[in-house]
Amino acid sequence: MNITMIITSVLVIALLGLILGLFLGISAKKLAVEVDPREEQILEALPGANCGGCGYAGCAACASAILSGEASINQCPVGGDEVADKIAAIMGVEFGGSVKLRAFVKCGGDCDKAGSDYQYTGAQDCTMAGFVPGGGPKSCAYGCLGFGSCVKACPFDAIHVVNGIAVVDKDSCKACGKCVEACSKHLIELVPYDSHYAVTCSSKDKGPDAMKVCSVSCIGCGLCKKNCPNEAIEVENFLAKIDYAKCTNCGTCKEKCPKKAINNI
């Protein structure tokens, strides 16, 4: 092969590579989309858990949403007020703080207090068990099935099944809401971290029917409502519910509940 042809070919390829490189470099500068440096700063301030508790696909998506104004300064439940303060400083706004939350399971019917209609040997999953007769083996159709779908969903190891019902470790909980989404019985809700009392029942059955299946079920008697000095309790569908905005943690409701359906949390 002619050496001149080889050298010529190499030079042509090198020249084409140089021209293409220059073209790409110029195009990159001309077509580049400017990124607000605050977005990277917000991302660095976020905890990096990528748990989705903020409602976005991950921390990067959350940072972008906060910068655009689509999400609030305290959108990240894991970071809490500490992260919100950092983001507020980056955005140049004021942040007055927020109420710290934690997950709570509205069921006290463990293996000692709630009955069971049959022995279940199927998939150890709450959603799957809900399709069997009666919505699961537990006699109370509203009660925690205890198969741990919420446990699997929690990215912080903050919830475990104890004696047949899910129990939240309030100090480990980041209020990301994953367990709330995972509970097929809709028994988990986010409550203020500093709340001392809660109704540990979700039954909407009338008193006599509720008592047949669980010894600690709410019977809708209304004694808690009548005796609450702050009018912080309502009874609807035979079930008491605490308004935490009014509750002062006085404990009167727990003292007056004849079925022990209101407890310390």
Sequence-distant contacts of 241-244: CB under 8 A, at least 24 apart: 241/199, 242/195, 242/197, 242/198, 242/199, 244/191, 244/192, 244/195
Residue type for position 216: V
Give the N- to C-terminal CA distance of the chain in Å, as an integer.
Answer: 87
Buried b (16+ CB within 10 A) or exposed e, 212-242: ebbbbbbbbbebbbeebeeebbebeebbbbb
**pLDDT tens for each residue of 157-210:** 999 999 999 999 999 999 999 999 999 999 999 999 999 999 999 999 999 999
Q: Enter the tokens of residue 143.
A: 């009660």
Domains plus CATH for the chain? 37-91 (1.10.15.40), 101-194 (3.30.70.20), 196-265 (3.30.70.20)
**pLDDT tens for each residue of 197-239:** 999 999 999 999 999 999 999 999 999 999 999 999 999 999 9
Predicted model pTM: 0.76
